[in-house]
Amino acid sequence: MAPTALAAPAPAKTAEERRRGSDFAPLLADLKTAGLLDRRPLRYALSIGTGIALLVGTFAGVVLLGDTWWQLALAVPAALFGVRAMFVGHDAGHRQIGRSHRTDRAMALLHGNLLMGMSSGWWIAKHNRHHANPNHLDKDPDVRAGVLVWDAGQAASRRGFAGWLTRHQARLFLPLLLLEGLNLKIGSIVDLRNRSRAERRVEGALITANVGLYFGVLFSAMSPGKAIAFFLLQHALMGVHLGLVFAPNHKGMPMPGPGEKWDHLRRQVLTSRNVRGGRVTDWLMGGLNYQIEHHLVPNMPRFSLRRAQPIVRAHCARLGVPYLETGAVESYRQALSHMHGVGAGLRTSHGARLSI
């Protein structure tokens, strides 16, 4: 038998690499000292109770209004409060809510599966991969080539209808978001086959209960045509809302190459963008407009992110690490400009072919 080859020893880290690797530790200590990593059970209890009451109250309104086209107006608050439930499911996936895994798992199943009809297990697994390597083309599922592409290398091989989509993806972004609410649910349900048998049983049962209750209310309270219209309108609005919350966070920010290794602080700060705003912006974006703070410490309760911002920003300034914060309009302009630029090569080659 041939002798087993010994792996070459890893090269020793330079002083600069060691220093950078420790840049996050003092920031984390400061956040802990400020109490910003402490659980917020009362705040979450109030938020969860209010959110469920508003969502249930919306569908009670659908029933009380009777069979009328005015019922479709309630698709707007149904979408808004539905996204609030998704925010809570997101927080549970990051272990922000309870003191035990069991509590957070229960909250994820309640808000993701039962209230929204979407697999929380699928979402958590996918989202955690994104957090581990944000904007990394090989490792972040949120920037893999799909209907949209995020890098000129991904765009280069697009032909036919896919090429047309890429050439015009910046203009098509908002219309495509109308389908995102349905896309998330369908994708998560299809992924149940990849879960363990126990997970499939629990998650599948809760999603089935959601579907039964949701369509039971709609079809008992309105005509089939109105029920389908309500369903499509609510999910279209949810898709737009979610897209407008998540698109500014990373699109158009630096994308680490396959061989690049950044330490935790730079990997999270340099690939993220904060959206400036007041309490209304914070509420509409679920506090995730403080994306830098959230990515640095994902288990920090979402309600603490606003207070963490000045600590994080000052720490980045001391280190000379760029910290990007823009207004909402500017964040969308940057994201869409990046998407438009990705398709530039295809537009040039397409124009050249047309001129021949």
37-65: per-residue pLDDT in tens? Answer: 999 999 999 999 999 999 999 999 999 99
Q: Which two tokens stand for residue 5?
A: 């080859």
Q: Could you tell me how many residues make up the chain?
A: 356
pLDDT of 20 reads 55
What average pLDDT values come out for the chain (356 residues) when binned by 10 residues? 39 50 91 97 96 97 96 98 97 95 96 96 94 92 90 89 93 95 94 92 97 97 97 98 93 86 94 93 94 97 97 97 96 94 81 50
* Amino acid letter for position 311: I
pTM for this predicted structure: 0.88
Q: Which long-range contacts (CB under 8 A, 24 or more apart) does 227-230 make?
A: 229/72, 230/62, 230/71, 230/72, 230/74, 230/75, 230/78
DSSP state for residue 274 in the 8-state scheme: E
For residue 326, the surrounding DSSP H or E stretch is strand 325-326
pLDDT of 348 reads 77
For residue 22, the surrounding DSSP H or E stretch is none
Torsions phi, psi for 321 (to 5 deg): -90, 120
pLDDT of 356 reads 47
C-alpha–C-alpha distance, residues 154 and 145, integer Å: 6
What are the residues facing 275 on neighbouring strands? 326
Maximum Cα interatomic distance, the chain, rounded to a whole number of Å: 80
Do the beta carbons of residue 125 and residue 245 sit within 8 Å? no
User: Hey, is 9 helix, strand or coil?
Assistant: coil
Q: Which of 142, 144, 87 is nearest to 120 (CA)?
A: 87
Would you tell me the crossing angle of helices 160-167 and 344-355 to the nearest 10 degrees?
120
Q: How far is CA 223 from CA 59, 72, 78, in A?
A: 15, 12, 18
pLDDT of 108 reads 97
Q: How far is CA 261 from CA 20, 26, 139, 257, 316, in A?
A: 12, 21, 13, 8, 19
Q: Which of 316, 342, 325, 341 is nearest to 23 (CA)?
A: 316
Helix%, strand%, coil% for the chain, nearest 5 = 70, 0, 30
pLDDT of 21 reads 58
* Amino acid letter for position 260: E
167-181: per-residue pLDDT in tens? Answer: 999 999 999 999 999
DSSP line for 146-211: SSS--SHHHHTT--HHHHHHHHTHHHHHHHHHTTHHHHHHHHHHHGGGGS-HHHHHHHHHHHHHHH
